[in-house]
Every structure is written in structure tokens, then in C-alpha cells.
Chains A and B, each alone.
Chain A
Amino acid sequence: MKKFLVGMTLAIAALSMVGESIARPMGGGRSIGRQSSSVSRMQAPAPAPRPTAAPQAGRPAAPVAGAPVKQPSRFGGLIGGALLGLGIGALLSHFGMGAALANMLGTILPVMLLGLAAFFLYRWFRNRNAPTNAFQGFNQNPLPAGGAPEIGSGINQAKQPAAYEPVQQPASSAAAPAPHTPWGVPADFDNESFLRTAKTSFIRMQAAWDKGDVADLSQFTSPEVFAELKMQIQERGAQPEFTDVVSIDAQLLGIETVNNEYLASVQFNGMIKPAPDALAEPFAEVWNMTKPTNGASGWVLAGIQQLPQ
């Protein structure tokens, strides 16, 4: 009976994981503080390219126009089915079929891998044929070298903004809306080290958020964001949170000047684990960082902005 219960629990746990969930990083996954109108203007006719099923960091799966909602369930169903299979295996072993379980495992795993391969091939094929809109083009073209600027990879600062231009596809451009033009990263801006520092701050502030270390948070946040975060920390009480950043990728969307301040919008994509034994979940949000134009102080987090849906 015990094994049966374990099997059932496994199956149920597997099924409950099928539903798509978006991880909640610092700030509870809400928009707070300063918002950039340029980010809001990045209107996408298709749903925002939140990473869905693909566990690939830095290359979020672009949703396929047409049936974007169905996509995760197909993937989830596959895994769910296979895990359910495992549950049944455990059930069988309860009835004295231990060897059969071993056999089944040996069969299920390759079948699961084949299924996954077929699924990715299928999606790749559909993606290739799907019309590319401006926002997808933006996301399908991360920095060269897989999004992580590497030394010696020959990334040319002057060419950087070009990476954000949408792919021009003559066949589908009629259907696509006006392409989103980057609202400007100055050509002489040190993109690479800015993004490195941004990633560092993200990881550090995530750790400070988990511990409820308001002193550390105050160093890197504007007063309004700090107030909001502090309130959320007080609301959750003494309970420390857990977030483990598994992968992180950052893109500088643009810099604008608003009221004697530079406002830089950085989009973070990646995977985080909300609990030590949980599966990593995708997240995507924009951090708006400000710095006084007179250079009196450094960059601080002035707002967290959720991507337009």
C-alpha cells in the first residue's frame, strides 16, 4: 500500500507541475516604481515572449502565432504522461513486478527522449514557418554568441543596436506591425560592463530580498522602490524566501533621459528556483535603472516593469 501511495503521489505531483507557472522574483512579479513608456510601447500582437516550455536560458521560446496557449500543455502532457508511466511502474512493482519496473524504466526513458526530440523538431519547424513580428524578431535575435557577450567574440559596440532590429521578412512584413525601433543606446555606451553589473545587482538583490536584508536593498534602490520592497518584506514577516537564480541573461533595451535622470531599461530573462527542491521556472521582467545626469550617484533600481502582455 505504501508503494502504491508513493506511486500515486509521484503521478499527482508530476501532473500538478504541468500547469505553466511563472516564477516570482523580487517584488512579487508585479510592476512597481518607475515605468518606461518606451517599454510599454513595445506592443506585441502575439502574447509577450515569456519563456514557456523550453528550459533554454537566454533563448526564450518565441510563442507560435496561432496556438500559443496550447503549446505548453503539449509539452507538459508528454512529461506528465511519462511520469504517470513511472507511477504505474511503481504500482506494478507493488504487485511483485520489480523486474518489470526496471524493464519499463529502460523503455520509458528512451521513448521520452525521442518524444522530446520530436517535439522540439516540430516546434522548430513551426517557428520557421510562422510569421515573424517585430517583437518576436527582437527576441529571436539576442546578442551574437548566444546572448552572453564573450571576450574576443568580436561584438562591435557600434553594431550592437542592430542586433535588436527585427528580421525583415518580405513575405510576412505586410502582416507585421511597424517594427519596434530601439529608443537608443548611445554608440559609445559600455553595454557589456553595464549588463554585467546589472546581472550582479540582480543576483545580489535577489539574495538580499530572500534574507529580508533591507539595508542592502536600500543601497541599490530608489526611495519609492525601496519603500515598496520594504513593505512587501514586512508583510511576509520573518519568513525568509528562497530564490536560486539558475540562469540569467540581460539585454539593454534602451536608455532615455527623463527629468535630469538617465533611465535605462534592462530586460532580464532566465530561470529561477523558488524552493530548494523545486524545478527551475522561467522569469522575464524589465528593470528600470536610473542615474542622475550630473553623475552625482550611481545606477539604482527605480522600477520593475512587467512586459506588455
Chain B
Amino acid sequence: MTNNTTHFGYKTVSEDDKVHEVAKVFHSVASKYDVMNDLMSGGLHRIWKTFTIAQAGVRPGFKVLDIAGGTGDLSKAFAKQAGKTGEVWLTDINESMLRVGRDRLLNTGLMTPTLLCDAEKLPFPDNYFDRVSVAFGLRNMTHKDQALAEMRRVLKPGGKLLVLEFSKVAAPLQKPYDLYSFSVLPWLGQKIAGDAESYRYLAESIRMHPDQETLKTMMETAGLEGVKYFNLTAGVAALHTGIKY
């Protein structure tokens, strides 16, 4: 047990508690996750993911690690692109989400290795993957720097890390965005998933997540090079990419 503290949304909690609180949120929302994503983002998350998939440029035979893969949107696309000679690992730290993802992949005829694992301690050898992706997962990790360093470690030299995450929205949109995420989101969460608290956490955790430039610096500190980012929908989300050399 550690006595270090970290943030859980706007609350300050001990690090061990954060892990449990985050797990609780996702156990609670797993079954409704996709419906809620569509509703909350107006389908925008699909465009963001499509952009990420295009930027990943997975080719047949690639080894791909999908961290916090949840319900498997990215893995599904990667598995099709990597083909029969490729290897796509769907991983998540949350069992409920991973089960939903595994079943969804199976229903589309894809059998990919599925693994419950902690991104801060990846059970893979060094220099193994051509691509590592983490979509809307980094925000929930307790030690982001450690997780980024692990992602870099498992990448092959020349491999690419893709981090898709909510980010800092452009200044003119700040007010309406705040209004939306603190009033509409929890209300939607209550109506659809019967859980306002989890969605309040979502809104708060987005505010606490490092902005574009900070995350870029964090990735560089973790040893990734050529780090760049793309603002998506005026910075509501951002895709950061970095290469390991």
C-alpha cells in the first residue's frame, strides 16, 4: 500500500483508491459503453478512431498492441488490416470491458489474443510491437509517465505509439463545452446508463488530463521521438503520435 495521492476527477484520492474507483466506473458502464459513446459525442468518436486507424497505417503481418482496447473498436480494424500473418492483442485492465470487446470481435469472425493487463506493467518483451495504441485510456492511468515508458519499451525500433485522448478544447468553445459536459453528460448518463456519477467522473477527468503540449512533452520525456499531435474537433480530442528510434 502506498500513501501517495492522485486525482480522481476533481477529488484527491490515494493511488490505490484511484485504481479501484476507475475500475468501478468501467464495470458500471461496460454494457452501455458504445451506446453512450455515440450519444455523448454525437458519433464523433467514430471519426476520431477512424483517423487514428488511418494514422496507424497497419499493414499485413504487423504486431499491434491495443491498450485499454475496451470494446475493441481499434482492434477490430487493426486485426483486419494485419491479416492472418499479423498479431493484434486486445488488452484492457477492466475485465467487464474486455469481455464485451472479446465477444464483439468473435461475432465478426475475429479471434485475437485478449489479455487482461496493466499498461504500467506490460507483460511483453522489449522491441516486440510495430504499433501500440491507446484510445481514451491514458487519462485513467495512475502513473501516466510509467505507462508511456512501458509502451515505448515494447515498441520495436521504428515502431509507432498512438495516443488518442480527450484534450483541451479551443478557447472560444470552452464555455459551451463546459456547460455540455457538466450538465448534459451526467444527465445523459443517468437517463441511459442509470449512472450519473460515472459520467461526472468522465467530464472531470478530461479537465484534469494534460493538454496537448504537456502530453507531447510527457511522451518526449518517455523517450519517444518525432512526437506530434493532431487536434480533432477543435481539440475536444487529440491524437498524439511518437516514434521509437
B-facing residues in A229-271 (Cβ within 8 Å)? 244-249, 270
Q: Among A6-14, A48-56, A111-119, A149-157, which stretch is in contact with chain B?
A: A149-157
**Chain A residues with CB under 8 A of B111:** 200, 203-204
**Chain A residues with CB under 8 A of B96:** 151-152
**Chain A residues with CB under 8 A of B103:** 148-151, 196
A58 CA to B27 CA, complexed, in Å:
26
A-facing residues in B53-103 (Cβ within 8 Å)? 84, 96, 99-100, 103
Q: Which 3 A-B residue pairs are closest in the complex by CB-CB distance?
A: A245-B109, A152-B31, A151-B99
Question: Contacts A150-B31, A151-B30, A152-B30 given: A200-B99 contact, CB under 8 Å?
Answer: no
**Chain A residues with CB under 8 A of B104:** 148
Look across to chain B and name the residue whose beta carbon is closest to the beta carbon of A147. B107
Question: Contact between B30 and A247 (Cβ–Cβ < 8 Å)?
Answer: no
The answer to the question of A94 belonging to the interface, with a C-beta cut-off of 8 Å to chain B, is no
Question: Contacts A149-B103, A151-B99 given: A247-B31 contact, CB under 8 Å?
Answer: no
The answer to the question of B108 belonging to the interface, with a C-beta cut-off of 8 Å to chain A, is yes
**Chain B residues with CB under 8 A of A270:** 109
**Chain B residues with CB under 8 A of A58:** 107
A-facing residues in B15-34 (Cβ within 8 Å)? 27, 30-31
Look across to chain A and name the residue whose beta carbon is closest to the beta carbon of B108. A247
A21 CA to B26 CA, complexed, in Å:
43
Please pick, from A153, A199, A248, the residue contacting B31 in the complex, using a CB distance under 8 A: A153
Question: Contact between B31 and A196 (Cβ–Cβ < 8 Å)?
Answer: no
Interface size on B, residues (CB 8 A): 14
Look across to chain A and name the residue whose beta carbon is closest to the beta carbon of B95. A151
The answer to the question of B192 belonging to the interface, with a C-beta cut-off of 8 Å to chain A, is no
A153 CA to B33 CA, complexed, in Å:
12
Q: Mark A186-207, 1 if CB is under 8 A from B, else 0.
A: 0000000000100110011001
Question: Contacts A151-B96, A151-B99 given: A246-B109 contact, CB under 8 Å?
Answer: yes
Look across to chain A and name the residue whose beta carbon is closest to the beta carbon of B96. A151
Question: Contact between B107 and A199 (Cβ–Cβ < 8 Å)?
Answer: yes
The answer to the question of B106 belonging to the interface, with a C-beta cut-off of 8 Å to chain A, is yes
The answer to the question of A79 belonging to the interface, with a C-beta cut-off of 8 Å to chain B, is no
Size bracket, chain A contacts: 20 to 34
A199 CA to B104 CA, complexed, in Å:
12
B contact patch SS: helix
The answer to the question of A167 belonging to the interface, with a C-beta cut-off of 8 Å to chain B, is no
Question: Contacts A151-B96, A151-B99, A152-B96 given: A203-B31 contact, CB under 8 Å?
Answer: no
The answer to the question of A57 belonging to the interface, with a C-beta cut-off of 8 Å to chain B, is yes
**Chain A residues with CB under 8 A of B108:** 245-248
A200 CA to B103 CA, complexed, in Å:
10
Binding site for A on B (CB under 8 A): 27, 30-31, 84, 96, 99-100, 103-104, 106-109, 111
Question: Contact between B100 and A199 (Cβ–Cβ < 8 Å)?
Answer: no
Give me 19 A-to-B residue pairs in the complex whose CB atoms sit less than 8 angstroms apart, sorted by A's number.
Answer: A148-B103, A149-B103, A150-B31, A151-B30, A151-B103, A196-B106, A199-B106, A203-B106, A203-B109, A203-B111, A204-B111, A244-B109, A245-B108, A245-B109, A247-B109, A248-B107, A248-B108, A270-B109, A272-B109
Which of B31, B84, B99, B106 has the largest count of A CB atoms less than 10 A from its CB? B106
**Chain B residues with CB under 8 A of A148:** 103-104, 107
A84 CA to B107 CA, complexed, in Å:
34
Which of B30, B100, B103, B107 has the largest count of A CB atoms less than 10 A from its CB? B107
Question: Contact between B106 and A150 (Cβ–Cβ < 8 Å)?
Answer: no
**Chain A residues with CB under 8 A of B27:** 152
Question: Contact between B106 and A247 (Cβ–Cβ < 8 Å)?
Answer: no
Task: Tell me how far the C-beta of A141 lies from the nearest C-beta in chain B, rounded to whole angstroms.
Answer: 18
**Chain B residues with CB under 8 A of A207:** 84
Task: Tell me how far the C-beta of B108 lies from the nearest C-beta in chain A, rounded to whole angstroms.
Answer: 5
Which of B27, B96, B99, B103 has the largest count of A CB atoms less than 10 A from its CB? B103
A195 CA to B32 CA, complexed, in Å:
22
Task: Tell me how far the C-beta of A51 lies from the nearest C-beta in chain B, rounded to whole angstroms.
Answer: 15
**Chain B residues with CB under 8 A of A245:** 108-109
**Chain B residues with CB under 8 A of A200:** 106, 111
Look across to chain A and name the residue whose beta carbon is closest to the beta carbon of B99. A151
Task: Tell me how far the C-beta of B63 lies from the nearest C-beta in chain A, rounded to whole angstroms.
Answer: 19
Task: Tell me how far the C-beta of A69 lies from the nearest C-beta in chain B, rounded to whole angstroms.
Answer: 29
Question: Contact between A248 and B100 (Cβ–Cβ < 8 Å)?
Answer: no
Which of A151, A247, A272 has the largest count of B CB atoms less than 10 A from its CB? A151
A247 CA to B31 CA, complexed, in Å:
20
Which of A150, A203, A204, A207 has the largest count of B CB atoms less than 10 A from its CB? A150
Look across to chain A and name the residue whose beta carbon is closest to the beta carbon of B28. A152
A297 CA to B215 CA, complexed, in Å:
53
Task: Tell me how far the C-beta of B99 lies from the nearest C-beta in chain A, rounded to whole angstroms.
Answer: 5
A247 CA to B76 CA, complexed, in Å:
12
**Chain B residues with CB under 8 A of A152:** 27, 30-31, 96
A150 CA to B31 CA, complexed, in Å:
7
18 extra interface residue pairs, beta carbon distance < 8 Å, beyond A57-B107, A151-B100: A148-B104, A151-B30, A151-B103, A152-B30, A152-B31, A152-B96, A153-B31, A199-B107, A200-B106, A200-B111, A204-B111, A244-B109, A247-B108, A247-B109, A248-B106, A248-B107, A248-B108, A272-B109
